[in-house]
Amino acid sequence: MRAIYQYLAGAFASDLLDDLVAILTGETLVANLSASCNKSSTSIESVVPSGWTLHDEAAGTNAKVIKAPLADDATRFKYVEINTNTAGAVLTKVFEDHNATTHTGSNLCYASDLVSSNQRVSTNTVGTLHIFSSARFLLLASLYSGLWGSPTNSGPSGCFERTRQCGWDTPAAGWPPFLFCNLGDLAATSNGLSAYAPRYMDRARNPLAGSSAPLYGFTGPFGSDGSNSQLSVFKMFSQLNGIDQRVPDETGGYVTPFYPITFLNYSVMPEPYGEISSHCEIWVLPQGVATNLDVLQKGGIDFICLQAASSSKTFAMRKG
């Protein structure tokens, strides 16, 4: 699902919350959104279903929790609290679990509750939220008065489900295969630190959570040595920089290569924890080959380019 949601100057935080949750849980009719929505400039595409359902409609003041099933175990879920109660921000707090009776979550992904890592909004002016989701992920990218994305590193952010690459990380073992990530941090941080898991295991079989469960993003095929900085998405951008990075296709033309995003913490687990590209259909592009909101094709499917950290660094996200 992809939506372009525009809110009006003077929008209410409660309306923003209701509209975001409605869109992420399957609303496809713009006419059903609140009076704070500029309906003539709002659109919703749902070739892929939004994938989330309402879990707790009373999670707090201007806060609701939604959930989506795991790819390999439909009885277990990812939980995200959509929160518009903090002035100037929409927070997407990611939890391993959430109790809708006590309205409390467990194992919050570190940074997912920070204004600096989430999307900025202003109810004093017209603004736009680009919303993407499926049952595997949700992502928000904000824009108002020329300000794109998060306050820090100007990136989209959200919850992403990863694959399970480690042998011990099975559905039966119960480890949560998802994370909170800010794409601006992914593009701007030299060592790739850009995400946090609710909980994971280190090589000594110790569970790590909160700020002790960081994840570093890299693009597998690239890296001149074993250090994390050489594997990072940031390093890939510097290595593959320019329109000449397009590659030949089968028709005699050229296409833009799409690179997968894998997460690891090499200091505690030498093996990567998994990648998000196959589940979430989000990929890294070479630097300088696209601009924000360009449309590219991969396998006959349209992808939207989303900038992060700078106008020359973009990620490709499935359109609709």
Instruction: Output the pLDDT for position 226.
Output: 45
| Cα separation, 134 vs 178, whole angstroms | 14
137-176: per-residue pLDDT in tens?
999 999 999 999 999 999 999 999 999 999 999 999 999 9
* φ and ψ of 172, to 5 deg: -65, -30
Question: Whole-prediction pTM value?
Answer: 0.95
pLDDT value of residue 220: 63
DSSP per-residue string spanning 151-167: TTTT--EEEEE----ST
| Closest by Cα among 111, 121, 122, 283 to 185 | 111
Q: Are the C-beta atoms of 159 and 117 separated by less than 8 Å?
A: no
| pLDDT at residue number 167 | 95
Low-confidence ranges of the chain (pLDDT < 70): 220-231, 243
Q: What is the pLDDT of residue 225?
A: 43
Count the residues in the chain. 320
| Helix or strand run (H / E) with residue 277 | helix 277-280
In this prediction, residue 273 carries a pLDDT of 96
Which residue carries 């704070």 as its tokens?
A: 36
pLDDT tens figures, 210-260: 999 999 999 865 444 445 555 688 877 877 777 678 888 888 888 889 999
Distance CA 9, CA 40 (A): 14
Whole-angstrom distance, CA of residue 198 vs CA of residue 210: 6
Judge whether 258 and 298 are in contact, CB under 8 Å.
yes
Which tokens belong to 260? 């997968």
Burial 279-304 (b: 16+ CB within 10 A, else e): bbbbbbbbbbbbebebebeeeeeebb
> How many CA atoms are closer than 13 Å to the CA of 168, on its beta-carbon side?
13
Q: Are 196 and 118 in contact (CB under 8 A)?
A: no
Which of 264, 250, 265, 308 is CA-nearest to residue 283? 308
CB 166 within 8 A of CB 269: yes
Residue 5: predicted pLDDT: 98
